[in-house]
Structure 1
Amino acid sequence: MSTGPTRVLVLNSGSSSVKYQLIDMRDSSRLAVGLVERIGERTSRLKHTPADGESRERTAPVADHEAALKAVAAELAEDGLGLDSPELAAIGHRVVHGGLRFTEPTVVDDDVLAEIERLIPLAPLHNPAGLAGLRTARALRPDLPQVAVFDTAFHTTMPESAARYAIDPEVADHHRIRRYGFHGTSHAYVSRETARLLGKDPSEVDVIVLHLGNGASASAVRGGVCVDTSMGLTPLEGLVMGTRSGDLDPAVIFHLARVGEMSMDEIDTLLNKRSGLLGLCGDNDMREIRRRVDGGDEAAALAFDIYIHRLKKYIGAYYAVLGTVDAVAFTAGVGENAAPVREAAVAGLEGLGLAVDSGLNAVRGGGARLISPADARVAVAVVPTDEELEIATQTYALVTA
């Protein structure tokens, strides 16, 4: 561990929010965490929680991301943790799309900013917010390393056979159409933590990671390297999600346009915001869906079954891709907390060596843990994700190398 500055500020700039954590890399402790939400509205809210104090909440207009980051800086300064602290080694930024160029964490300069801007058509909702955070942080601390950590980077190791769509390659290359994948920071962290849970080096472990939140994705990780993932050009492909459809016949879009007379924007909204669990049963909260299922609600039961059917298909597919599997790891909000999802996802897969122990599966919390029987051929694990720590770790490793 370096004897120099040991703190990393992690910024996750969304379209209307900024999440942040200040982490001491000596022991991975959080010195402060917070959130600015509803940026651009009159009812913007900032919640700030220092490690050794009570949470503070403020409601006041925050015009844009520049104003949001200045408010964050002021909150940190109030606790003696300001951006001018000599203990601050770097600021790590979550950036959603890095295309093919950015395969690892990158110190940001004008050229990097320009390339992230060129990638906006591939992530029109996310990269502009990331850019705003980067530019503001550079202006506030121009002398401090600003590091971009890309959601897509972990998946750039996919072979072309997994990354390419079966369309004219000239058309695909011209428009940068390929499978990029997302949630990569989470998949990287969880696959590594799963290996640690098994007492092995990541290079020795083949794992299927299931990141199940409102957005959901699966990945096949061979020896610490991603070889396939369920999201594609955008986060719409793959598993059934809270509001996204996941996989569907592309001709559905043509049908909706020609027969349903829907515009492209209307179809985009349908598939991204009014589909998935919400579209199927009117709820995208798995807790509420399970409550309705237990109460005999047929629409909720069908939505749950469709969700599980797709999830099980990907487990089987990635088992085939990997050939051998040491572990299946559940993570993120649903994956970490919804025992019925975990149980249903592996039910009937005993022939593949997969099973859960009902008692272990019912336990809530407790960090990374195994929920499979002691004699199971394939470990089934719950591994809480920590994307902020992963961003901080990658950032700190880069600036202290």
Structure 2
Amino acid sequence: SQLLGLDFQVFTCFEAFRAFYGPKIIYCNEKAFKGAIQIPVQGLLFENDIRPQNPKVSYFEGLPCFFQVSVPGGDLPFDLFSMVFYLISRYEEYLPGRRDHFGRFPAEESLAHQSGFLQMPLINYWALRLGGMLSKRAGLPAFQPTAKYAFLPTYDIDHAWAFLHKGLTRAIAGTLKDLARLDLNGLKTRFRVYAGREKDPFYTFDFLDQLTQRYDLRPIFFFLLAKWSKYDTNNSLQSPDFRQLIERLSGQFPVGIHPSFRSNVEADYLKTEIQNLEKITRRPVVRSRQHYLILHMPQTYRRLIQQGIREDYSMGFADQTGFRASIAHPFFWFDLPKNQPTPLKIFPFQVMDVTLNHYLKHTPEQALEQVRPLIQHCRQVGGIFCTLWHNSSFTEKPPWENQRHLYTQIIKIAL
């Protein structure tokens, strides 16, 4: 219903199914009901445990598919429903396997990457194909999806300022670190910023304001409000300027929490960080995106639900662009070990600045060519093209030269 805009009923009684007037889908391996589209059953949807499935990817009418089942007279040679469930539930991320140094499930371990369909929203394409089959079987005009394409820019605010508003102790520590590395350019910039002779390089919100006004954008901002730690080096909440920035942006745009790295191992930190953001914005916090995109299934999402989060924007890979859950639309997370649907709505993103610049080491030209097909796919299926950028990436200092131009070009293509 979400992807195709169609109302439907589920029947377990064959007589009620037979009496229904309208296009029909029958999910079984027995002799097909005349006039109904038959989807064969592989069995995954009737299991309660989690075990390796070892899907083998092939192609049917130009699209990847797996969970092949041979049923005489069937309309598809594979179990479409089990395939969709396997992908959208992130079934493979519950299985033992290699993780990166942050404990994350890497893109190269995914079936989509290994089989060459990570860069396309496969579920959307198969949904449209199914809609076309229903229209044709019912003798109706060619199927037209109701979902409309949209562009959703999002920003993670890990460091609103590079040098300012971090407290005296951290300012001294940062200076000593620059000295130890003989980073003369860094020291020069640092002292010019402290002296008020140069703008802090990470404070790029005037540029973001200009983009928002020029292109009529509706971005979402995610704020890191952690206690300082090795991987949580955000500005101090004691800074009035930082609190004022959050107040200003939350008054104009949707905002969310950026749960700290530390909150993945100490659950109380997440509650405190959410409460701190609520005190500043004076409204409930319902959106979240994981710092470092740390997703541990199912613990991460369960913790978010317990703290009242209703939308999460972490569904994407750090090391690759593409469609981690093979879909270009939001969907509700399914708790696989509990075998239960949940109220947590997942908003996938397709591309992150750090992916293009750090992991893939693309030039701006290469990055644009990597992103362009993602936008085209989202347009074709009426999906949401969602980007993840950091304010600090617009600094125009190494290694982020030309990032403003690249991002502006992406916006122009995406609109």
The answer, yes or no, to whether TM exceeds 0.5 is no
Structure showing greater Rg: 2
More strand by share: 1
Q: Give TM-score scaled by structure 1 length.
A: 0.25
Q: Give TM-score scaled by structure 2 length.
A: 0.25
